[in-house]
Structure 1
């Protein structure tokens, strides 16, 4: 198995062509797509390949848990001049949700963004009906910075979209940061 970054429970690795079937399944899963805001769409393997080909301003990782792809995490709309990006995460495999894996995934990506891409700010959006995600983001250090009131209409009700961000100074270094420091330390001697 190829892995780029190893967390406490998950690994992040490049996305490969053979992952497309998993991603098509995830994007067409009702619950997974509801939380990403893409629920009304129907997705094919070609749609997913096209999405991954458009990667000039994003970094995408397949999330591996116990040898199986369970989702995707990405930094997109990367602006290296202003040192900011947007975080997106999807745990597509239903059995992998609500296991505490999101904390590991998000902190790995924050380390990657802050200590390898040298970003200053990472933001995200979240629907107000997704209380688990809001709690996770706050646990990872994100703060609410605004909301778009009644911006999402689902099943007869309107929901707000929350805007959250985290600055590099608010992030406690995680495992990638430690690995960088250890590797550099080997060569300083």
Structure 2
């Protein structure tokens, strides 16, 4: 079994065929708060992004992978390593499952488990961090189930719907 394949999902590089999926996900206003997006992305911009998605994590400082159910090639979500810092062996990590009916079924948990193992075993990452809205109980539960610890609260960090809210910073120190 591949290091990026689990019992129910696998992670794969983005493909040109993912254009419609990424376009829909990036323009879904319900996830803009999580991705800190403020305006829609054009199809042209998403296409350009996908054309450059092949860049090495050491060059791009990020890695975005599609989350797919094992029985299909079609993406159900995305999982990212971002702000990759190879000198200090750390990166941010984020995940989104597009359709609400695919959430809470363990797909995100398995994807996160696969990416943490990949980050440890292949990229030799020492620590991962996640920025999570204090109101996002599902994400807080998911990340803490892997040992991420709350290390701080960024006050009034997110401006959404005319008001400010706090964002929590979670960190996982990966043991060798």
Q: TM-score under structure 1 normalisation?
A: 0.80
What is the aligned partner in structure 2 of residue 42 from structure 1?
40
- Size of the aligned set, in residue pairs, is 167
C-alpha distance in 2 between matches for 1:20 and 1:27: 11
- Residues 141-180 of structure 1 correspond to what in structure 2 (within 5 A)? 141-169=147-175
Distance 1:155 1:59, change over 3 A: closer
| From 73, 90, 101, the counterpart of 2:79 | 73
User: Does structure 2 conserve the Cα–Cα contact (< 8 Å) formed by 1:147 and 1:161?
Assistant: yes
Structure 2, unaligned runs of 5 or more:
none
What is the aligned partner in structure 1 of residue 126 from structure 2?
120
SS at match of 2:77: strand
Deviation at 1:50, TM superposition (A): 3.8
Deviation at 1:90, TM superposition (A): 1.6
Q: Tell whether 2:58 aligns with 1:59.
A: no
More helix by share: 1
Distance 1:127 1:44, change over 3 A: same
RMSD value over aligned CA atoms? 2.0
What is the aligned partner in structure 1 of residue 135 from structure 2?
129
User: Does structure 2 conserve the Cα–Cα contact (< 8 Å) formed by 1:15 and 1:62?
Assistant: yes
Q: TM-score under structure 2 normalisation?
A: 0.86
106-115 vs 76-85, which moves further: 76-85
C-alpha distance in 1 between matches for 2:31 and 2:154: 22
SS at match of 2:114: helix
117-126 vs 91-100, which moves further: 91-100
User: Does structure 2 conserve the Cα–Cα contact (< 8 Å) formed by 1:4 and 1:13?
Assistant: no
User: Does structure 2 conserve the Cα–Cα contact (< 8 Å) formed by 1:147 and 1:163?
Assistant: yes
**What per-residue deviation string (whole Å, max 9, x for no partner) do you get for residues 147-180 of structure 1?**
21011122243210111110112x9xxxxxxxxx
Structure 1, unaligned runs of 5 or more:
172-189
What is the aligned partner in structure 2 of residue 101 from structure 1?
107
Deviation at 1:4, TM superposition (A): 6.7
C-alpha distance in 2 between matches for 1:45 and 1:78: 26
What is the aligned partner in structure 2 of residue 187 from structure 1?
none
Q: What stretches of structure 1 move > 3 A for 4+ residues in a row?
A: 49-52
User: Does structure 1 conserve the Cα–Cα contact (< 8 Å) formed by 2:153 and 2:168?
Assistant: yes
